[in-house]
């Protein structure tokens, strides 16, 4: 189900809207194929993996549901960023008794959780990030195409390293995003029912699986098509950025958009603002439009003066 609207001008051209109701390039068949190939891997990993039991399946029905889903994804990136910072402080010797490290005792990079692909697409794992199964397929989202489900799973294997992993993940139903000309006749029938709001019961079914658990195999590479603009090899992602410890006493600073929510864009150090820099690992979590905004010092300073008034006292250097 492609959540886009077409706008027709007097010149006969058309454009689309993304889920935030902003003008966007219309997704091509290949864009849909990227989402379909990835959705199939992600959906099958959790649905067919005997170590994971589906606890709940919530349908994304309305425009508000779609917006809430993407805002929740944004908030999860912020939460993961803060958690990564706290873990780094713990590894540097601070006493933070409520902060837990992954079982291997190492921190996780932002790029293990979130990667921007282009203006419309990004990789992001799940809403939860306490335990992160980095061997699971890395979901890709397109802000022009709406997921249809938010499913909750739990790893109940009892023995593997991700036992207890609680997963809350937004999913595309593969047949709903598959390019139409590639659909079989039976898939067209299912697709039509889904677009009418009638998702098959077997997709929503939450009865725990009874198969004998077995150790999951590592998924095959799942690079999207036309991925020349990605500078990594899935699923192993190089650490392109170094971790930069925030200055002492730094307070997170968010850019609040007209749509609500906010994007972490840097820190206030006293009355001065220290923006994210390309050398920061957390630069991964900054959308392209916000990177452009941060690179415009005049526009940035106007925003900070409007938001903070006389409290703002220039850039931190």
**For residues 5 and 23, what is the distance between their CA atoms, to the nearest angstrom?**
9
> Of the ranges 8-12, 39-43, 95-99, 277-281, which one carries the lowest mean pLDDT score?
8-12
**For residues 150 and 95, what is the distance between their CA atoms, to the nearest angstrom?**
36
Q: What is the pLDDT of residues 225-284, one digit of tens each?
A: 333 333 333 333 333 334 456 666 778 788 876 544 467 788 888 888 988 877 676 665
**For residues 50 and 46, what is the distance between their CA atoms, to the nearest angstrom?**
8
- Residue 129 pLDDT greater than 80, yes or no: no
Token pair in block for residue 240: 């392109």
Q: Which segment, 16-20, 122-126, 195-199, is predicted with the most confidence on average?
A: 122-126
Beta carbons of 286 and 78 less than 8 angstroms apart: no
pTM: 0.64
The pLDDT value given to residue 152: 93
Give the residue among 237, 23, 294 at the shortest CA–CA distance from 116. Answer: 237
Token pair in block for residue 285: 């979590």
**For residues 312 and 300, what is the distance between their CA atoms, to the nearest angstrom?**
12
Mean pLDDT along residues 95-122 = 84
Token pair in block for residue 120: 């419309």
Give the residue among 55, 59, 52, 57 at the shortest CA–CA distance from 207. Answer: 55
pLDDT range class, residue 285, cuts 50, 70, 90: low
**For residues 144 and 126, what is the distance between their CA atoms, to the nearest angstrom?**
19
Question: Could you give the 3-state DSSP secondary structure of residue 115?
Answer: strand
Burial (0-12, 13-18, 19+ Cβ within 10 Å), 179: middle
Residue linked to tokens 């994971």: 52
**Residues 6 or more apart whose Cβ sits within 8 Å of residue 41:** 137, 219, 222
**For residues 70 and 76, what is the distance between their CA atoms, to the nearest angstrom?**
10
**For residues 308 and 314, what is the distance between their CA atoms, to the nearest angstrom?**
11
DSSP letter, residue 136: S
The pLDDT value given to residue 53: 92
Token pair in block for residue 152: 């909750």
Q: What is the pLDDT of residues 179-206, one digit of tens each?
A: 988 999 999 999 988 888 888 878 877 7
Question: In this structure, how many other beta carbons lie within 10 angstroms of the beta carbon of residue 287?
Answer: 18
User: Which has more pLDDT, 27 or 217?
Assistant: 27
């Amino acid at each position: 189900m492609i959540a886009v609207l077409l706008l027709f001008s007097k010149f006969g051209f058309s454009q689309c809207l993304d889920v935030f109701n902003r003008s966007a390039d219309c997704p091509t068949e290949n864009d849909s194929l990227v989402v379909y190939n990835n959705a199939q891997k992600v959906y099958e990993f959790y649905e067919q993996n005997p170590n994971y039991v589906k606890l709940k399946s919530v349908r994304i029905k309305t425009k508000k549901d779609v917006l809430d889903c993407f805002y929740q994804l944004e908030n999860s990136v912020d939460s993961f960023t803060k958690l990564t910072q706290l873990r780094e402080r713990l590894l540097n010797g601070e006493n933070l008794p409520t902060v837990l490290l992954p079982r291997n005792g190492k921190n996780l990079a932002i790029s293990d959780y979130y990667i921007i692909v282009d203006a419309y697409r990004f990789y992001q794992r799940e809403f939860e990030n306490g335990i992160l199964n980095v061997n699971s397929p890395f979901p890709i989202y397109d802000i022009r195409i709406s997921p249809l489900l938010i499913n909750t799973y739990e790893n109940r294997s009892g023995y593997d390293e991700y036992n207890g992993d609680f997963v809350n993940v937004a999913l595309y139903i593969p047949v709903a995003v598959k390019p139409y000309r590639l659909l079989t006749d039976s898939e067209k029938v299912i697709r039509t029912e889904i677009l009418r709001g009638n998702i098959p019961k077997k997709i929503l079914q939450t009865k725990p699986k009874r198969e004998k658990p077995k150790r999951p195999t590592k998924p095959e590479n799942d690079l999207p098509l036309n991925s020349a603009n990605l500078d990594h090899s899935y699923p192993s992602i190089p650490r392109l950025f170094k971790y930069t410890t925030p200055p002492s006493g730094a307070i997170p600073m968010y850019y609040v958009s007209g749509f609500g929510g906010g994007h972490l864009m840097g820190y206030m150090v006293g009355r001065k603002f220290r923006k994210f820099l390309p050398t920061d690992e957390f630069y991964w979590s900054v959308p392209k439009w916000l990177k452009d905004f941060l690179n415009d010092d005049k526009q940035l300073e106007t925003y900070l003066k409007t938001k903070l008034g006389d409290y703002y006292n220039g850039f931190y250097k």
